[in-house]
Structure 1
């Protein structure tokens, strides 16, 4: 089947559109093409060998307020850096700070199954057989 092979070979060369990409792909809404100072593309295409040349007069410049104003601002981040994490509960209360690793998982699984086996034995011992 020749048409399939030809189609597979040519498909990557076609322009990427939003309906050909995955669900998170967003191309934009032409904000870079608005008229005004330092809007639009930050450079120009020169030729095939050089590629793209940035123009200093078109590059966007973002100015942030001084750091002292940011620190003294009444606005705070979503999570305060001084907050303490909640205490761990349940089977994984003694999990290491690095997270789950195979050795810890095996140790916890053995402890969990040992506790369940002991509970089963206690339940069987309490129920008398007639």
Structure 2
């Protein structure tokens, strides 16, 4: 068994696609119309095009707002992405205007930082010491 797909709820799929591809560096994998305005829209790591897909899922369900608002209020990231060097990625993304809610912090063998994805979620970046 392996993880094939996971999702983040987003307020605006076009805005999310821009952020996740043009800013974070993922690549679009699937973009299929679903209904009148929604899409089955996934991105993947350019390093693993056949790897786990991230679905940029419309946040239309009524429970989503309370769920995401509570996570953000409590400072809890919805997802975590592995990066080679959190500090370097933090500097790169800040240079692109990304807002961080947590600067890089060492926690034992892991260094993390938390960013606002502009789509209603906090995302944690993490590097594990070699």
TM-score range, shorter chain: under 0.3
Q: Which has the larger radius of gyration?
A: 1
TM-score normalised by structure 2 residue count: 0.19
Q: Between the two structures, name the one with larger relative contact order (CA 8 Å, sep ≥ 6).
A: 2
Please state which structure has a larger fraction of its residues in helix. Answer: 1
Task: Name whichever structure is richer in strand by fraction.
Answer: 2
The TM-score with structure 1 as length reference comes to 0.19
